Amino acid sequence: MKHRIPLRKRLLVRLLTASALIALCSVAATAWLAVATTTSALKEEQGQDLATDSGILAQLSGYAATHPDWSRAAPTVRALAARSGRRIALTTADRTVITDSAGRGTPLPPRPAATVDPLHTDTYSEPGAQSSGIDPRAVGPYRLPAAERLHVDALARKRQLCYHAHGIQVTVQRLPSGRPVLVGPDGEDSVAYVPTECADGLLNTPTATENKALAALTARTRVCLDRQGLVLGAPLYLSFDATGKDLLSLRLVVKGKERAGDATEEAGQNCARGARRAQLDPYVAPTAQLFLGIGDRSAPRFDMSPANNAKVAGAAGLVLVVTVAVTAVVAGRLVRPLRALTEAAQQPPNLHVRVAVTTRDETGILAEAFNDLTERRARLEAQRKAMVSDIAHELRSPLTNIRGWLEVARDGVVHPDATLLGSLHDEALVLQRVIDDLQDLAAADAGTLRLHREPVRADELLDQVAAAHRVAADAADVTLHTEAGAALWLDADPVRIRQVLGNLVSNALRHTPADGTVTLAARRADDAVVLTVADTGTGIAPEDLPHVFERFWRAEKSRSRRTGGSGLGLSIVRQMTVAHGGSAEAASEPGQGAVFTLRLPSAQPPSGAD
């Protein structure tokens, strides 16, 4: 009876459901990943734009700090625009265009991006800006002429050599004014330790140009102080900073008196900064407004607008449809052979139905395994029928003989003398042996075969078996001898192993012609003992060799128990050997005899054994 599989449990439905879930998860994950990645990319691009804008502002501020006007700024602006991909425009405060990288007539952005003023820079974003907010590149009258540069360069090299002589590694860097400064190994503008021999003060002494500019700055500062009504009561000095950090340390010094109060000093600092800006103003370009645009680049287009939402939904639907379609096709191809296997398995057992193998995947392998199982089942069924027939034959022959002799004795045809009784006893023994063999095989199959294992000497075991079959060997004119070392011990049931070897020797004697030889040997192989029974008989054909341990199998089907045995001896050999935890094998070459090999577990000699 066929069982109807519920729809929710069918392989096709489960595959489709799993594929749909996978597709949905994949689409959702892809959408999330796209949004997250795009957002990250936009943020990164914005950060890069900010860095680019800061670089543009810094370069234009440097231009303004070193030029008195913007008349020659057009090439610089165009180069910056080409390098950054941005539109760059400079205008005056009233939006009169000074220079523009875009074409004439192009409207300006609604708001300026920054103001370019080297005398009022952003000290937080402008690298190297002075605390006063003045671009460090704006040096004006403090720029050293060539002669003074050579002089201070010589002083810088002299001090560098002095430092090196004291194990201090310094390098020389040049300030925008042309003055050299010594930089320590950590990149700082000053050296932590100054040897006494090197502290001559010459390098930090202002040159004539610097003194002149400093005097002019002092005069401008004094005018500012006088305008504010601040009376210092002493001469005004502005100390010089040769490290370039602030170019001038604008600190008020009252000669011969205490420093002025904080309010006076702050007012003096403000006057000094204003005087410095006024001093530098003729040397820098006028303040300009900086406008930045996107240039030739496309603006970011990603946003989760309704149109983009529709695109994502459409892409998700398309992926889902394709996934379901492909899954349906694949699942159909998978289900067809499974249905064929199910129909074949539901056929009556006696038909032994096989299925066609159309693929080489897992389903094809399953179909091959099913066909192999069917063939083994058919073979076992044939063996079962043959075994029943053989058992009936093996029992019928002695029973027929016993019945016939008893009937003729009852009818008085023959007298039940000792010869007749002996013959009947032999037939009864034949029946007993067949029954015992079948009982041993049944016990081995059921796992109830009793074994009384003990250490057994291999050489004594072989000698006992050879002695038991010596008469039969002499009668067949076959030489029977043994080969075994005295140090080999088996962990086995001696009675069962003698039965196993007896079956092998009996089988060898039946198939060995006169003047032949049967050899029983034992040797060690790793942690096992190998027993072999070899003969010089007719051998076994290659096609028969795989079947020698099957029950009731005979190489010549016409043989009876009188000539070929019952066909149970070798089956008992294999079952008994496996029950001991060993293995049995057969090897043969037609016309050169056969060799039966038993591999059994070894044992330690008992205490006191030779």
CATH code (residue 507): 3.30.565.10
Shared domain check, 260 and 232: yes
77: in domain = yes
Residue 11 pLDDT: 64
**Residue ranges for the chain with pLDDT beneath 70:** 1-5, 8-12, 14, 29, 33, 36-49, 122-132, 186-193, 231-265, 295-309, 311-312, 359-362, 383, 386-387, 390, 393-394, 430, 552-567, 608-610
Shared domain check, 457 and 342: no
pLDDT tens digits along 373-408: 888 888 778 767 766 776 776 677 778 878 888 888
Residue type, 475: A
Cα–Cα distance, 253 to 241 (Å, whole number) = 14
92: in domain = yes
Read off the tokens for 370.
């099913």
Domain that holds residue 468: 450-601
Sign of the dihedral defined by the CA atoms of residues 180, 185, 190, 194, in that order: negative
Cα–Cα distance, 328 to 312 (Å, whole number) = 24
Shared domain check, 597 and 454: yes
288: in domain = no
| Beta-bridge partners for 293 | 87
Shared domain check, 188 and 258: yes
Read off the tokens for 584.
């049995």
Shared domain check, 332 and 381: no
Shared domain check, 93 and 27: yes
Shared domain check, 409 and 486: no
Please identify, among 346, 366, 399, the residue that sits at the C-terminal boundary of a domain: 346
476 contacts 514 by C-beta, under 8 angstroms = yes
Cα–Cα distance, 363 to 112 (Å, whole number) = 72
Residue 610 pLDDT: 60
536: in domain = yes
134: in domain = no
Please identify, among 446, 480, 510, the residue that sits at the C-terminal boundary of a domain: 446
289: in domain = no
Shared domain check, 78 and 64: yes
Number of domains in the chain: 4
Read off the tokens for 536.
């010089």
Shared domain check, 551 and 454: yes
Shared domain check, 331 and 227: no
pLDDT tens digits along 480-507: 999 987 788 999 988 888 888 988 998 8
Using CA atoms of 492, 497, 501, 507 in order, give the dihedral in degrees to the nearest 10: -140
Residue 173 pLDDT: 87
120: in domain = no
Please identify, among 313, 346, 379, the residue that sits at the C-terminal boundary of a domain: 346
Residue 326 pLDDT: 77
Shared domain check, 210 and 87: no
Cα–Cα distance, 16 to 77 (Å, whole number) = 62
Shared domain check, 341 and 210: no
Question: DSSP 3-state helix, strand, coil percentages of the chain (rounded to 5)?
Answer: 50, 15, 35
Nearest to 529 by CA among 452, 604, 439: 604
88: in domain = yes
Identify the CATH number of the domain in which residue 386 sits: 1.10.287
Say what angle helices 11-66 and 74-84 make with each other, to 10 degrees: 170
Residue 341 pLDDT: 80
Nearest to 520 by CA among 530, 533, 529: 533
Q: Specify whether the backbone of 412 is left (phi greater than 0), alpha (psi in -120 to 50) or beta.
A: left
